[in-house]
Amino acid sequence: MDTPRVVVTGVGLMTPVGVGRDASWLSLLEGKNGIAPITLVEAEDLPSTIAGEVTGFEATDFLNRKDARRMDRFVHLAVAATDEALEQSGLDVPAEADEIGCMIGCGIGGIGTLEDQFRVFFDKGPGRVSPFLVPMFISDMAAGQVSIRTGARGPNVNTVSACASGADAIGTAWEVLRRGDAKAMITGGTDAGVTRMSVAAFAASRALSTGRNDDPEHASRPFDLERDGFILAEGAGTLILETLEHAQERGAPILAEMVGYGASADAFHVTQPSENGEGAARAMRVALDKAGINASDVGYINAHGTSTPLNDKFETMSVKTVFGEAAGAIPISSSKSMIGHTLGAGGAIEAGVTIMSILDQRIHGTRNLIVPDPECDLDYVPEGARDVPIEYAVSNSLGFGGHNSSLIFKRFSD
C-alpha cells in the first residue's frame, strides 16, 4: 500500500498579535509588536514585567460560562484555535468520529490554575481545593477537551517536549495519517504560561529577558547582537491534517501539503542547545530525507529564533551545516520577534504561519533586528514583509531538555 499524502485543510491561530488566523497573519506582515506590560497577573515585583498576551480574547466567545470556569486558559486558547481551524476546513467530525484523532502539544499545562489552588491549599486548607484542579491543570486536557467537544474518537495524545511540543504533536499526527491509523487529525499546540511563578522561574534560569521592562517594543530581538533572552508569551495554534484522498473526496480547501518531519535529541544540557547546533541540524536532515527533497529546494525557514544568545547563534550554525553554501540565500524569519515565546504552542503557531507564507508567497520579517550579530549572518529579513517564491518551507522548534523538531510544508499541487 502506498503511503498516503497528507494535506492541511484548516489553520487556527490565537496569538499576542491577533485573535484569529487572519488578524495574526496581517499583524505579522505589518511587523506589529505583541509585547506589552503584563496584565494577566500582578507583575510589579517580578524580574520581567512584560509578556505577549492574547489581548481581546474572551473564553466565553467560544465556550459557555460554566465550561469556561472548569478549564484553564491554555484549554480556552486551544478550543478557540480549533474552532477556527475546523470552520475553515469544514471537517464534519461527528460523521467520521472513529477516523479522526486529536494530538495537541503543551509544555507546562494549567500552571495558572495550579498556582491559584496552591494559595487556596495553604491559606484555607486541603478541604477547599477545587475538585476540578486535576482536570484543569494536567497538560493533556487540551487534547482531551477538544476531543470531547468535537467528538473525535481516533488517536488522542498530548505531546510534552517543552518548546517543541506543538511541532512534535503535528509531526506525530502526520505519521499517524501516513501509517493509516486515521483519516484526519486535529493537531497543534497551546500554552498559557504568563503567570507569576512562570515569570520568576524562567528569569531564575536566565533564559528570560529582564533588561527591557521599560521598552517592550524592542525587547524581543532574535538574531540581534543585543538580544538578552526571550519574552514569555501565551497562545495556541491548530492545524487540520487529512490524507489527500479524504480531503479531495469531501472537496476540502487544501492550504498546503505536509511532507516532512524530523526529531532529534541534543543529549547535552537541560537548557543549552548542543554545540554548533548539531542536534537541530540532524532534525532538519531527517525531515528533508522524509520529504525526499534537497536542501536547495527550501525557499523559506521559520526559525525557532527565541532571542536568547546561545539559541540564535547555534540555530544559525545548524542552518549553515544543513544548507551549506545555499544557507545565505534562504530567507529566514522569527515570529517570536513579535509574539514572544509561547512555549509549547510555539511550534504549532509557527507551523500555521509557515502555511500562510506558502499560501501568500510572502513572509514576515524579523522585528528588532537592529544591530547585526556577526555570528548570526544569514538573511533574517530585517526590513518587513517580503514577497518570496516558496515551494517548500521549514519550521523549526527547539526545546529545553534538548528536543529538536523540524516540519516541512509544500505548496500544494496535484
The 3-class SS string of the chain reads: CCCCCEEEEEEEEEECCEECHHHHHHHHHCCCCCEEECCCCCCCCCCCCEEECCCCCCHHHCCCHHHHHCCCHHHHHHHHHHHHHHHHHCCCCHHHHHHEEEEEECCCCCHHHHHHHHHHHHHHCHHHCCCCHHHHHCCCHHHHHHHHHHCCCCCEECCCECECHHHHHHHHHHHHHHCCCCCEEEEEEEEECCCHHHHHHHHHCCCECCCCCCCHHHCCCCCECCCCCECEEEEEEEEEEEEHHHHHHCCCCCCEEEEEEEEEECCCCCCCCCHHHHHHHHHHHHHHHHHCCCHHHEEEEECCCCCCHHHHHHHHHHHHHHHHHHHHHCCEECCHHHHCECHHHHHHHHHHHHHHHHHHCEECCCCCCCCECCCCCCCCCCCCCEECCCCEEEEEEEECCCEEEEEEEECCCC
- The one catalytic residue in 304, 364, 376, 403 is 304
304 among known catalytic residues: yes
Query: Out of 341, 364, 376, 403, which one is annotated catalytic?
Result: 341
Of 102, 106, 163, 376, the active-site residue reads 163
Per the annotation, the verdict on 364 as an active-site residue is no
Q: Which residues are catalytic?
A: 163, 304, 341
